[in-house]
Structure 1
Amino acid sequence: MNRDERPTVLDSAGSWYVLILLTTSYALAYVDRQLLNLLVDPVKRTLDISDTQFSFIQGFAFISAYIAAAPLFGRLVDVTNRRNILLGGVTVWSLCTALCGMADNFWELAIARFGVGVSEACVYPVAMSVIPELFSTRRLPRALSLFALGTQIGGGFSLLAGGAVITFAASVILLIPALSSLETWQLSFVLVGLPGLLLSAFLLSVREPPRMASATKKARPFTLRECAAKLHRSRAFYGRLYLYAACSGIVFLCIPAWYPTYLIRVFGMPAATVGWQVGAITLLFGGVGTLAGPWVAGMLTRRGYADGALRAACCAVVGSFSLCLAIPFAQTPIVALAIIGGIIFCCGLPTSLIAFSLQRVTPGAMRGMTASLYTLTVQVVGYGVGPTAVALVTEKVFGGPMMVGHSLQVVCSTAAFVGFCALITNLRHFRELLAEVESGVPAEPEAEPEAGVIRVVPAKA
């Protein structure tokens, strides 16, 4: 082998090591961003802020930062060193999470929260660009499903362990007098920020993977005009996929935002019980659903469906729609918990399948951009429309807080139905793009190597 060439072995131990670090990054991002939800009253009391000010910190400060940063990171991922982007992002959001605990007033906390939103926007685009270059086509769905577990692990762990962190922080303050000037909620933020700094140290051991097909002229970074031209040319596929992303974001974020309130109001369940039970259900059913996705898609593909990944996602959305319709009809807490378990399972199953479908037909030189647009759509519509829509329907349509279950039914089932229509009408467009990829029409004509094949790429001078 020429000494100016370097190999990348697909599906290797190194590939799985990088995947573990990416999944851990994704999980920590969810823990860091959701800790604030458990500390509403202590934060308000210490900083003397109103509900409106807190909602600004909780929602607008984070999502506005995400909106500003996601497209930028999407572009940077396609043209610069992805390892360094992730390393910088993890370090910054860990420091900003710790700085949330140092805040003494509204603006300090808002700025720190803004920093968390900016830096966390890098994770998904980096992963969607790197993972397809580390795994063969056969292993890619499974790798993406493991990465998608990060949302379930982070979301569930934030509920299960959030209370434990707060209790531990209170004990630390009692044991170490030097920390007595900090409130419990402030030390909690500092403690949650520390694992990210440890993760940054592990990321230093990772080398930037060579970009797929970078030995060819076509692998040069796309210009923004070329990215826009590709998106416009395939707008039937991307438009429908992003519409599904918006709808899935509504369901995915409405359920954790309002379903615990539904359980507390309608069934009188204690808040602590709701926290650990919903957290455990999220970890179990979300994890199983996410891991089951590639298996269902593979079964359909073996039966001759080239669009097996999107077809399996369609089936999951049908299940989600049916369960959302059933929400207000639960007569006991057990039935209500079974319904949320089913919804979380159905929301988790398509996660890796959608990512696989998107990356399978997108040129490697613009995967960061398309991934950032996807996650941006999920976050913006999910945070900006979903929970607010449930609140408005509860107050303006049903006229009472006890009707939150009916509001969840209306908002989530409507979103699931629109998402299903977007996916089912996208199957044909997905097959057409797959045929183009297999025939060598796209910008990257090289056939993707199978597991164990070494891809040789000239090293940079």
Structure 2
Amino acid sequence: MQSPPPAKGAAYTLGLLLVIYVVNHIDRQVMYILAESVKADLELTDGQLGFLMGGGFAIFYAFAGIPIARIADSGNRSNLISIALLIWSAMTVASGMAVNFVTLLLARIGVGVGEAGCTPPAHSIVSDTYPPERRALAFSIYQLGVPLGILFGFSAGGFLADEIGWRTAFFVVGAPGVVLAVIARLTLREPERGRFDAGTSSELESVASTLGYIARLPSMRHVLIGSSLQTLFLAGAGAFHASFLQRVHGLTATETGLQLGLVAGLTGGVSVFGAGWLSERLERRDRRWTWWIPAIGCVLSLPFSYVAYTTGRTTLAIAMIAVATLLNHTYSALTHAIMQSLVRPRMRAVMSAIALFAMNLVGFGLGPILVGRLSDYFGGGTEIRHALVALIVFVAWAAIHYVLGARTYLRDLEAKSA
């Protein structure tokens, strides 16, 4: 029988990590709803806006993640999360002090570097707190931080932008993270490493050996490619959904923030949690359902995304974005659960960082930039809809990799203990 989770138990550990991840995404996503106000005040192009929301943040997030994860696989994970939370919260506040493109870019880079220290150690803690058969659901609960962060970030950010301006909005959303960092430092404790992985090596793995191990598993390659491609679409579209609704459908920042916040918080939350709940049950019949669920979601989402960006009716556009979100976010927790199940205990934080490296460099790094550049190419303004339509192809491409990855998944799981 496995020992119980440390300190205040599994529920408290997972709950606190969820709250931290919510703050993580509030501080990341608030830039999206403030984009039009920032663009007007600092006189930016869509291309520059895309780089602020994508490349400037994602490149440094991606490259900082692997060395930070290396520390997490050998050191105290909870302390690392506390320090990272303090850094990104302070840099979110600093974003409100920006006077031009360069100073705002530097602040966003700081947010990216700080947030790189959150998810890899958190994934490792979750994996050492819950046994393999419970991880899909546990990761789904943790990944609720994404839709909940968007819900609060968009809703509060839109209201604050209209009422007190974008600069103060950054101050308001960044400051609570400083307090939360203290709480995390005092109450988030370390679980025993590898406690549910008897029969696997507990020796610290080098980054090179981890990369070599990953390269030998076909299913790992497919989940990395598929999740990166899907993130490219979701990050690119998500970064410009607010601009799309404001330019094409004439909504205010407050209206846009409320609508998109509810879409992400409700449908996105149902998608993330529901996928984990459904996977936990279907996996009892066949473990490959962890792959098939996101593949089916990708395919079914395609027509809804197309209608969302081409219709002239505001209500229909928002409804279609909601349905597409419900179907698209099934991949969020399940792909991380797949990757964590395929690696050994001392690879977990580095594995998470490698996954986030790929998702952020390809997804958040290229997605917003691609939409911004395409929007400028098509003429900007309301023509942003054409840029969003062009991005849908990446969802279909992702689905192909999920189907291919499922074919070797069971065999690759056996390699873990070999």
Q: TM above 0.5, one fold?
A: yes
2:64 pairs with one of 69, 92, 107: 69
Q: How many residues align?
A: 414
Q: Post-superposition shift, 1:296?
A: 2.3
Q: What are the Cα deviations for residues 165-221 of structure 1, in whole angstroms up to 9, with x where unaligned?
A: 4577x4xxxxxxxxxxxxx54443333222111111221212222211599892021
Go from structure 1 to structure 2 and tell me whether the alpha carbon gap of 1:40 and 1:345 turns closer, same or farther (over 3 Å shift). Answer: closer
Q: Answer yes or no: is 1:283 the counterpart of 2:262.
A: no
- Alignment identity in percent? 25
1:11–1:139: 8 Å Cα contact kept in structure 2?
A: no
Say which SS state the counterpart of residue 196 (structure 1) adopts: helix
Q: Answer yes or no: is 1:344 the counterpart of 2:325.
A: yes
Q: Answer yes or no: is 1:157 the counterpart of 2:152.
A: yes
- CA RMSD of the aligned region, Å? 2.9
User: Within 5 Å, which residues of 2 pair with 1:28-177?
Assistant: 28-40=23-35, 50-51=44-45, 57-103=52-98, 108-166=103-161, 170=164
User: Within 5 Å, which residues of 2 pair with 1:5-404?
Assistant: 8-10=3-5, 14-40=9-35, 50-51=44-45, 57-103=52-98, 108-166=103-161, 170=164, 185-203=166-184, 204-213=186-195, 218-234=201-217, 236-302=218-284, 304-330=285-311, 332-394=313-375, 396=377, 401-404=381-384
Q: Answer yes or no: is 1:428 the counterpart of 2:410.
A: no
**Larger mean Cα displacement after TM superposition, 155-164 or 125-134:** 155-164
* Alpha-carbon separation, structure 2, partners of 1:247 and 1:13: 38
Say which SS state the counterpart of residue 138 (structure 1) adopts: helix
Partner amino acid, structure 1, of 2:230: S
Q: Post-superposition shift, 1:151?
A: 0.6
Go from structure 1 to structure 2 and tell me whether the alpha carbon gap of 1:164 and 1:49 turns closer, same or farther (over 3 Å shift). Answer: closer
Partner amino acid, structure 1, of 2:388: L
Gaps (5+ residues) in structure 2?
Answer: none
Partner amino acid, structure 1, of 2:351: T
Q: What are the Cα deviations for residues 386-409 of structure 1, in whole angstroms up to 9, with x where unaligned?
A: 23333444554x667545434323
Partner amino acid, structure 2, of 1:358: M
Q: Post-superposition shift, 1:416?
A: 0.9
Go from structure 1 to structure 2 and tell me whether the alpha carbon gap of 1:8 and 1:380 turns closer, same or farther (over 3 Å shift). Answer: same
* Alpha-carbon separation, structure 2, partners of 1:40 and 1:262: 11
* Alpha-carbon separation, structure 2, partners of 1:38 and 1:409: 20
Partner amino acid, structure 1, of 2:291: L
Go from structure 1 to structure 2 and tell me whether the alpha carbon gap of 1:429 and 1:215 turns closer, same or farther (over 3 Å shift). Answer: closer
Go from structure 1 to structure 2 and tell me whether the alpha carbon gap of 1:359 and 1:404 turns closer, same or farther (over 3 Å shift). Answer: same
2:154–2:257: 8 Å Cα contact kept in structure 1?
A: yes
**Larger mean Cα displacement after TM superposition, 320-329 or 137-146:** 320-329
- Paired position in structure 2 for 1:177: none
Q: What are the Cα deviations for residues 62-81 of structure 1, in whole angstroms up to 9, with x where unaligned?
A: 22321321111222221211
2:385 pairs with one of 405, 408, 411: 405
Q: Post-superposition shift, 1:366?
A: 0.7
Go from structure 1 to structure 2 and tell me whether the alpha carbon gap of 1:142 and 1:41 turns closer, same or farther (over 3 Å shift). Answer: closer
* Alpha-carbon separation, structure 2, partners of 1:187 and 1:334: 30
Go from structure 1 to structure 2 and tell me whether the alpha carbon gap of 1:218 and 1:55 turns closer, same or farther (over 3 Å shift). Answer: closer
